[in-house]
Amino acid sequence: MSGPEFRGVFDIHLTVAADEVGPLGDWAREHGVKFTHIVLERGTAPSQPMLTVRGEGTLGAQRTAAAAHTARLRDEGFRVVRVKIEAAPWNEDVPQTAEAAAAMPGRYFEHHVKVAVRGDLAPLADLAVVHGAHVSRNARRQRDDGSHERFVTQRCRGVGLATAGRRFEALLSDLEGHGYAVLEAEREYVVHDDNPGIDHGWIEER
Average pLDDT over residues 173-189: 96
**pLDDT above 90 as % of the chain:** 87
Q: What is the pLDDT of residue 59?
A: 98
Determine the pLDDT at residue 120.
Answer: 84
Domains of the chain listed by start with CATH number: 8-87 (3.30.70), 98-198 (3.30.70.980)
What is the pLDDT averaged over residues 12-27?
97
pLDDT of res. 1: 43
Residue 71 scores a pLDDT above 70: yes
pLDDT, tens digit, for every residue of 81-98? 999 999 999 999 999 999
Q: What confidence category does residue 119 fall into, taking pLDDT thresholds of 50, 70 and 90?
A: confident
Mean pLDDT of the chain: 94
pLDDT, residue 141, reads: 64
Find the mean pLDDT for residues 37-54: 95
**pTM score, whole prediction:** 0.94
Task: Assign 118 a pLDDT band (cuts: 50, 70, 90).
Answer: confident
Asked whether the predicted pLDDT for residue 2 surpasses 80, the reply is: no
- Annotate the chain with three-state secondary structure: CCCCCCCEEEEEEEEECHHHHHHHHHHHHHHCCEEEEEEECCCCCCEEEEEEEEEEECHHHHHHHHHHHHHHHHHCCCCEEEEEEEECCCCCCCCCCHHHHHCCCCCEEEEEEEEEECCCCHHHHHHHHHCCEEEEEECCCCCCCCCEEEEEEEEECCCCHHHHHHHHHHHHHHHHHCCCEEEEEEEEEEEEECCHHHHCCCCCCC
Strands 80-87 and 34-40: unpaired
Band of residue 80 on the pLDDT scale cut at 50, 70, 90: very high
pLDDT over 70 for what percent of the chain?
A: 96
pLDDT at 33: 96
Taking only the tens place, the pLDDT of each residue in 132-169 is 999 999 866 667 777 889 999 999 999 999 999 999 99
